[in-house]
Amino acid sequence: MRKIFSSKTVVLLMLGFLVVVGLIVGSNWWAKRTNNPPFFQRAVNDLTGGAAKIISIPTNAVGNRANSLANLLNTFSENKALKSKLDGYAENKVKLQTVEEENQSLKKQLDLKKTLTDYETISAVTISRSPTTWNSQLVIDKGAKSGIKKGMPVLGDSGIIGLVSEVNTVNSKVTLISNTTEDTNQIAITVKGSAGDTNGIITDYDADKKMLVMGSVSNTANVNKGDTVVTSGLGGRVPSGLLVGKISEVTTDSYGLSKKIYIEPSSDLSKISTVLVAKSSMES
């Protein structure tokens, strides 16, 4: 049988063993003398530290990405919650502003109602107003069931805003005084000037200035800025004495032959949420 180890191999193994032992002993002696870890321990530590560093690079990268993703998701959730709160605040602010405007309008209507001694009034709320017919008409929530009749004057918070033009059972259509597309819609008015009254009609509406226009007034008419304008009652369509507004500007037409008077409506025609329908005491 062949020998597993020859004498030469044994000698080499013994020499190698002695070298390793010598290195270990020498390393320990040197470590004690220099207060440093032994050579083999340092080699193992360096090897282990290097491997740990290599492994930590992708691990830390994955961890950082995971933390970034988690932070991003948290930020998104927080932003969503804050946006929802802000939307709620904005909605509540709009509701509060609407309620305050309605309250102010109702208070003015109470004062106006006290002056209408010859009329009974029916309170109503605007339920429809189309952007395409904003300056022409609106719909209120009272109709024939509440005693509304065609032709009745409709008042805003301070004065007349239009006439009832169509009556249904539970709602009615109101044609506004700013609707001057037909001669039948033009309302007869009187300017209460210091030197006497000047009669005329509402002939136009300037949407840019938000002013009613009284045209074809004689150049000799004594009308001035600030004069009060009321319904005249002429023509029998509208009762007399209902406040229309005040003169804001007096100019002449393009030919210089007559005066053109701009009237600021007593009620804001762009904001009509609640109205009073006037019914004369004779009708009631």
More confident residue, 113 or 215: 215
- Which pTM does this prediction carry? 0.62
**What pLDDT digit, counting tens, does each position of 41-84 carry?**
555 555 555 555 565 566 555 555 656 667 777 777 777 777 77
Q: What is the C-alpha separation between 188 and 214, in angstroms, rounded?
A: 10
More confident residue, 11 or 241: 241
Task: For each of the domains in the chain, give its residue range(s) and CATH number, in order of start.
Answer: 119-280 (2.40.10.350)
* Reported confidence tier of residue 284, pLDDT bands at 50, 70, 90: very low
- Cβ–Cβ under 8 Å, residues 28 and 44: no
Chain mean pLDDT for the chain: 78
User: 24-52 b/e with 16+ CB inside 10 Å = b?
Assistant: eeebeeebeeeeeebeeeeeeeeeeeeee
